[in-house]
Structures are given as C-alpha cells and as structure tokens.
Structure 1
Amino acid sequence: TARLATTDAAAVMKLGRTFPTVRRALERSGRLADARYVERATMSAERTGSLGEVDPSSVPYFSVAVLPSRIDTPGTPDAPDASASGRPGEVVVVGLGPAGPLWLTPEARGELAAAEDLVGYTTYLDRVPVRPGQRRHPSDNKVEAERAEFALDLARRGRRVAVVSSGDPGVFAMATAVLEAASEEPYRDVPVRVLPGMTAAHAAAARAGAPLGHDYAVVSLSDRLKPWEVIAERLRAAAAADLVLALYNPGSRSRVWQVGKARELLLEHRAPDTPVVLGRDIGGPEESVRIIRLADLDPADVDMRTILLIGSSQTRTARRGDGTEIVWTPRRYPEG
C-alpha cells in the first residue's frame, strides 16, 4: 500500500485471484481513482476501463492493473483547478516526525505523495521531497490560523491538500488550528483527517533510554498563546504529583528566562540531582542528547530545537558496560 501511494507509475501483472487484494491496496493508498484495468491486450477479447468498476469475479489471469504517471496530468501547476472535475477536496494534516525520513510513517508518506497541494511552515515543507505536479505553499511559523484557512479553501475548490507539521500534528501543532477552522462556516463540510507522527518527546526518550516509562505530563513553556501564570501553575501541579515532565518550546531568541524560572519551580518539589534529558535536533544532523542534573540545567543550553525531559523522584540513571549513560523511570511506583 505504501509503495503504491508513493510511486509515480506502476503496473501489477497477472491479476486473476489476486485482484481483490490489489484493489484494496489501491483504495487504501488513495490511488484507486487513477488505476486502469487492461485485460487480454491486443487480443480480440481485449477489455480496458477504470479498475474500480471491474467485477472481481470476471478478472482472468492475463490482466493488468496500471497506474499512469502523474507527470503532465491534471494537478500540475498549470493545470485547471480540480473543482472542474466535481470531485471533493480534502485536507490531511500530516505529522513528519521530529526530523528526517526514517520516522515518517508509511501512511504519512503515501498521503504526501498523493497530495496535489502541500501547505506548511517553510522549514517543514523543505523536509518533503519535491514531486512533479504538486503545488507547495510555504509560510511563516506564526500564521497557523491563516495557514489552516488557506488549506481548507483549497480543499473547498476540490484540491487534495496535505498540511505538514513537525512531530505529531496533534501535539502543539497544526491539527488544532485546522480542526478549529473546520468547525466554523464555510468549512464545516470539508473533509479533514489527522495522521499521527513520532513526537519529539518519544524520540528523545528513546535516544536516552526510557525516562517516560511511568506516568508523565507534557507542557509547553511558550507563553505566546497562554500566560506564564498558567504554565507555572501546571508545572507546580505536575511536580507535586511526581510526574515525569516533557517540556516543549523551552526557549527561543525572544524567550530566554522561562527555563530558569521552570527550574526554580521544579526544585521546590524535586531533588537537585533529578535526571534531566536535553534532546536537541533529535533525528537531525546536529542531534545531541545529554543527561544532566536538574540543578545544573542552564538556560543557555536550550533553544527551540531542544526538548527537556525532567525525571520524577523514581527516575534512575546508570552507565552501561560500553560507557553509555542511560536513564529510565521504573513502571512500579512504591506504595505509601
């Protein structure tokens, strides 16, 4: 299914009894409408047509499923608008994972290949391979609402749109913006799907060991969309409950004090030697993973490409035989 979704053109030969399986794969990959059926080509009993309209019981061994190339077909930048075909548009919000192609799911890869329009923050769009016939619509990272409405407008005109988002699109990302806009007129009837992606927290945790092995909370330190007082209260509550914390958006060029303040709040409830994982550019070319003490957390070491995992009272570290330091939180919590 993933290969059919991502390929430009394909042929599946000698269908026979495998026809229902091939048809299901084409349908799941979003390519059934493009697929053509050819039976006994060049013979007197030749039959051709749309594969989706073929009766499975009538398919002989000598038949072929064909996916024509998308190059120089409707959907190219110079092609007429898709609304002329009368087919419905759709918005699919796709999670790219933290960085690189290895953590992109087959489902997400297929939707990116099938999309006619790609919409997203410029940095994230640059991570998606350029494909002939696709339109790319980059924008700034502070115009999420406008980006969502733009994507929905394209879908209203019959376009198949992929909105790209780093990590998982439902975690401090574009899925919320799209669904919020899609809940209002004139977008209520536009189909919207959200595809999950690997989160930065899970990727960083895997690199360090298993610090999220027990209950944990996820908090964004950015006060751009909520007041710092709300963030501080949530940090206190999570720390008092002895939850491991995954802290997103810890700092930027314009936000330099939040990490220091968060450290002070957490030290009211956590020991100074509580393990902290600093994961930066996980999966990217500048990947860095460090394990430090909470008391040694320096705001100067943190930026927007960093995620912090703050251990609980039960989180442990150890040095393996090869010298590698690992961190984990036991699944069992002491009674009393």
Structure 2
Amino acid sequence: MGRFRVVGVGPGDPELITLKAARLIESADVVAYHQGVGKSSNARRIASGLFPDGVLEEVLQYPVTTGVVDHPGGYDGAMSDFYDDCERRVGAHLEAARDVVLLAEGDPLFYGSAMYLHDRLSSRFDTAVVPGVPAFVAATATAGIPLVRHTDVLTVLPGTLPVPELARRLADTDAAIIMKLGRTFPGVRDALEQAGRLDGALYVERASMAEERYLPVADVDPASVPYFSLIVVPGDTKPLPVVEVRRGTRSLEVTPAAEVLVVGLGPGPDAWLTPEASDALAEVGHVIGYAPYVDRVPQRAGLQRHASGNTVEVDRARLALDLALAGEKVAVVSGGDAGVFGMASAVFEAAEAPEYAAVSIRVLPGVSAVQAVAARAGAPVGADFAVVSLSDRLKPWDVVEKRVRAIAEADLVMAVYNPRSRSRTTQVADLQQILLEHRAPETVVVVGRDIGRAEESLTVTTLADLDPESIDMKCLLIIGASSTRVTPTGQVWTPRFVL
C-alpha cells in the first residue's frame, strides 16, 4: 500500500511552505489537489515548483461551486458523489503502492476540503497530516496588527452564518476572524455594523500573495470581494463597557429618568416573547444577564452585551443600576418570567443600597416555565397550586423540606423548579419520598424538558414511577394533587372544584 499524506501548503506564498511539506511533495508519486469548475488550483500554483519530474497529477475538480445544482440529492448529494469519486481515484493510487500527497491551501483541517478525503481514507491507509500556515495568520502578518492580547478570546466565524447569529457572536467576542466571504460580504458587513465592530475591522485579500491588499472593511466594494479574502477584527477594537459611576460618591450627577428594565424572555421560542419585551429590548443600549439568555437577544447597532455566569445575580444587578445612574438605557434579562426565580428579585435586592435610591425598576413579565409546561401538558395548574425551587443555594434544605411537606399536606398541585444539578443529585429522590408520605403512588407527575425548544420532551408518569436519575436542570416538574386527572389522550388537568 502507498502512503497518504495530507499537506498544508500555506496561504499563497511558496516560501511559507514548511520544510516537511516540501520534502513530502518532492518525493511524491502522485500529487492530488482540488480545483473549481473552470479554474486552476491555487494549491497547485503554490507548490508546483516542488513537483518532482514524472509525478502523476490527480485533479479533483468540484462538480459545482454554489448551492444550485441539478442533482436528485441537491448540493449535498452532488458533493457526496464527488467525494465518493475522489476516494475511489485516490484510493486506487494507494492500492497500487503509490505515495499520494494531497495538497491543501492554508491548513488542511481548517475549513479545508482535504479533511473529507482524510476522513474516508485514514482508516484504510497509512495517513498523516502536515499542518500549514492558515490564511488568517498570514493576513494579520500582512496588516501588521496584533490580533489578541493577554486574555482576549478569539473566535473564527464563517461568513455563511445568518446575519443575526454572526452579529451576536461578533458582539460577544474580543477578536474575530471571518472566513468564507465572496457573495456573503454584504451580510458580513451588516453584521459587523450591528455588533458595533465595523470600525477597526480590516479586510485582507489574497494574503501573502503578490496580489495581496488590505483596507478597512467600511471602504470595500462588495462587488470586488473574491473567495480568497477574510476579515480581521482585532481584540483591541472591542468597545469597553460604559460604566462611569463610582458607588458611594457624593458628586454623582444622577440622570432624572434613571431606570432599569427587568425583562422576562419566556422559555425559549421567539413567539413566546411578548411585544412589550421585544419593544423594550429594541430601545436599550445595554443588555445584562446570564450568558445563554443574553445570547437570545438579537444584536443590533449600538447594543452592548454584558454576559456572565449563573451565580453572580447581584453583581449583574449592580452593573445594571450603575449604568442606569450613568444615564444609560439598560435591560436585565431572565428566561421565563423575571419575577419567578429570576433576576427581578436580585435587582430589588441590590437596589436597597442608598446610592440607588434614584433608580426606578420596571419589571416586564414573560411567559414562565411553569406556564409553558402546563400548556403542553393540558391544564394541570387549573386549580390552586404552589411553586417551589429545590435549589438549596440560597436557602437551607430543611427550609425546602418544610415547605414541600406543607404543600403536600395541603394537597396542592406543585410546580418544581431547579430540581437537580451536577452538584445537587439527591433532592428529587428526597422530594419523591416526602410526597409519597402524603400522596398516593398513582399521583400524576408531568416532566417537561426544554419546553419550547427543538429538543423538547414531555413525559406523563406517576409519583411512584418517577425516575429521579432522569431529571436534570433542564426539567420542570408538575406534581398533581389528588384530584389531578389524565384524559384518554394523555392530557393532564386539575378540576377547579373540590369534591
């Protein structure tokens, strides 16, 4: 069998080919490379000076260059057939004991076509990958600009992402590289503007090649953008948060209309975001919250995002209050309803400090998780019900247990938030045992997981059959009262009357 080598030849300048890549190319029996329809291979152009006399060249020409194709399986079907053919052709050389070098522009495993042949052939033949200089490294060298410093986070993004998603990711990272331009450039430029990252973003074309050029993205003619181009967004260009308030100072000039909005985003789907909340988010200059909730707010020009972890609620609230005192329009966001185990209480807690006396707080309701799960199940909370969190992070477990027993003795439907986490693994089993002291084993239990999202599931079971090990933080439980019923079609409801 021949040996299969996938070799990165760098971004364009032949002098950026590594010594190892050059040695393998010079000793190859077969050199394979991809090229577009009606085009010559850029990888071949870079490495052709190293081809040995008599080397066989295997040209792997793409059947299409866009997503429009006359194939029963569409674009994906056409490309799958193409890679099947590439596998057969390259595999035939290897089976004939010829060493094959597959050329790849930049680095082979960085948005490269070479990886697909590597995936198909590496299990059958002696295979190795030689890394190459990626195009974005050459681009930053061309422009002579630092990309990241110290603790900056670098994100590499394909320009083919939807504009709102691209804008969100650009707003949330320190530095970015945007690949795959060409026809996507107008949308990429819009995303940069929405994220507030257009100023300082640099367009680099054909980095390290003789035709290379670079200029500010704002100055680029969209009609002139080839595929061999990318955008560099240095970490130094990320806007710093506007927080000019120093708590406790006497000289602070407070904005008369200082206000913090606390916004419930609902359980997930955009359709469950209220028009009031949507309008408010379109007006504020800052959004603050737990990172997955901040991610759900569309990015737009002028919006600054302040995402943080899940256990710093009061710190988030203080940041919002400080921004409001500085005259900024700010919203604190929560999933579901902000007033149900959400950020509203944390904001009021932080606002008790005297320096925030001039800040008003306005809470905008959202669809709560219990409402969403109940609606999916039918009408399990159609009568009196209680809501409890099993988290003992802010209250001791004996308080949770006391409240659960009181709810059980009162024969109320119970909605259970925060049932389990990686560090809290026994509470659901403890809850089950407490309830079985007061409720029949056949008591109806609804388990809603990720309700409203693509991966949602709803399970109707009984108190005796509930499996605590199947529950996680993505779940909300509704435990029925003695009167809660299940219809022949599996829907759950609780009568309004008491017999």
Give the TM-score of the pair, scaled to structure 1: 0.73
1:170 to 336, 339, 343: 339
2:493 is aligned with 1:328: yes
2:457 is aligned with 1:288: yes
1:246 to 402, 407, 415: 415
* Cα distance between partner residues in 1 of 2:314 and 2:243: 24
2:362 to 193, 198, 214: 193
* Cα distance between partner residues in 2 of 1:222 and 1:280: 17
Q: Is the 8 A contact 1:155 1:161 kept in 2?
A: yes
Q: Is the 8 A contact 1:252 1:303 kept in 2?
A: yes
Give the partner amino acid of 2:328.
R
1:121 paired residue number: 290
> In the superposition, relative to structure 1, how do residues 146 and 318 fare at CA in structure 2: closer, same or farther (>3 Å)?
same
2:255 is aligned with 1:90: no
Give the partner amino acid of 1:332.
F
* Cα distance between partner residues in 2 of 1:140 and 1:125: 11
2:111 paired residue number: none
1:30 paired residue number: none
Q: Is the 8 A contact 2:242 2:323 kept in 1?
A: no
Per the TM alignment, residue 88 of structure 1 is displaced from its structure 2 partner at its CA by: 3.4
Per the TM alignment, residue 132 of structure 1 is displaced from its structure 2 partner at its CA by: 1.0
Provide the aligned C-alpha RMSD in A: 2.3
Q: Is the 8 A contact 2:443 2:481 kept in 1?
A: yes
Per the TM alignment, residue 286 of structure 1 is displaced from its structure 2 partner at its CA by: 1.1
1:222 paired residue number: 391
* Cα distance between partner residues in 1 of 2:389 and 2:446: 16
2:330 paired residue number: 161
Give the partner amino acid of 2:330.
V
Q: Is the 8 A contact 1:168 1:199 kept in 2?
A: yes
* Cα distance between partner residues in 1 of 2:337 and 2:254: 33
Give the partner amino acid of 2:296.
R
Q: Is the 8 A contact 2:389 2:418 kept in 1?
A: yes
Q: Is the 8 A contact 2:284 2:331 kept in 1?
A: yes
* Cα distance between partner residues in 1 of 2:387 and 2:255: 43
Runs of 4 or more consecutive aligned structure 1 residues displaced over 6 Å after TM superposition: 78-85
Give the partner amino acid of 1:157.
A
> In the superposition, relative to structure 1, how do residues 79 and 319 fare at CA in structure 2: closer, same or farther (>3 Å)?
closer
Q: Is the 8 A contact 1:77 1:133 kept in 2?
A: no
Per the TM alignment, residue 300 of structure 1 is displaced from its structure 2 partner at its CA by: 1.3
* Cα distance between partner residues in 1 of 2:288 and 2:354: 21
Per the TM alignment, residue 332 of structure 1 is displaced from its structure 2 partner at its CA by: 0.7
Q: Is the 8 A contact 1:81 1:158 kept in 2?
A: no
Per the TM alignment, residue 90 of structure 1 is displaced from its structure 2 partner at its CA by: 1.9
* Cα distance between partner residues in 2 of 1:255 and 1:274: 25
2:478 to 294, 300, 309: 309
- Tell me the secondary structure at the aligned position of residue 245 of structure 1: strand
Q: Is the 8 A contact 2:318 2:350 kept in 1?
A: yes
Q: Is the 8 A contact 1:89 1:161 kept in 2?
A: no
> In the superposition, relative to structure 1, how do residues 96 and 263 fare at CA in structure 2: closer, same or farther (>3 Å)?
same
2:348 to 179, 201, 208: 179
* Cα distance between partner residues in 2 of 1:81 and 1:218: 37
Give the partner amino acid of 1:314.
S
- Tell me the secondary structure at the aligned position of residue 155 of structure 1: helix
Whichever of the two has the greater Rg, that structure is 2
Q: Is the 8 A contact 2:284 2:303 kept in 1?
A: yes
* Cα distance between partner residues in 1 of 2:258 and 2:416: 36
1:212 to 378, 381, 384: 381
Q: Is the 8 A contact 2:286 2:328 kept in 1?
A: yes
2:279 paired residue number: 110
- Bigger relative contact order (CA 8 A; separation at least 6): 1
> In the superposition, relative to structure 1, how do residues 180 and 86 fare at CA in structure 2: closer, same or farther (>3 Å)?
closer
For residues 230-283 of structure 1, the C-alpha deviation after alignment (integer angstroms, 9 at most, x for no partner) is 111111110111000000000011111000000000001111011100001010
> In the superposition, relative to structure 1, how do residues 308 and 235 fare at CA in structure 2: closer, same or farther (>3 Å)?
same
For residues 29-62 of structure 1, the C-alpha deviation after alignment (integer angstroms, 9 at most, x for no partner) is xxxxxxxxxxxxxxxxxxxxxxxxxxxxxxxxxx
- Tell me the secondary structure at the aligned position of residue 464 of structure 2: helix
* Cα distance between partner residues in 2 of 1:287 and 1:86: 44
Per the TM alignment, residue 191 of structure 1 is displaced from its structure 2 partner at its CA by: 1.7
Structure 2 residues not aligned, in runs of 5+: 1-193, 197-237, 246-252
Per the TM alignment, residue 183 of structure 1 is displaced from its structure 2 partner at its CA by: 2.1
Give the partner amino acid of 2:399.
V
Per the TM alignment, residue 101 of structure 1 is displaced from its structure 2 partner at its CA by: 0.7
In the TM superposition, what are the counterparts of 1:117-156 in structure 2 within 5 Å? 117-156=286-325
Q: Is the 8 A contact 1:77 1:134 kept in 2?
A: no
Q: Is the 8 A contact 2:267 2:451 kept in 1?
A: yes
Give the partner amino acid of 2:273.
L
* Cα distance between partner residues in 2 of 1:244 and 1:212: 7
Percent identical residues: 55
Q: Is the 8 A contact 1:120 1:164 kept in 2?
A: yes
* Cα distance between partner residues in 1 of 2:195 and 2:337: 30
For residues 156-202 of structure 1, the C-alpha deviation after alignment (integer angstroms, 9 at most, x for no partner) is 10000000001111111100010111122211111210011111001
> In the superposition, relative to structure 1, how do residues 95 and 274 fare at CA in structure 2: closer, same or farther (>3 Å)?
same
- Tell me the secondary structure at the aligned position of residue 296 of structure 1: coil
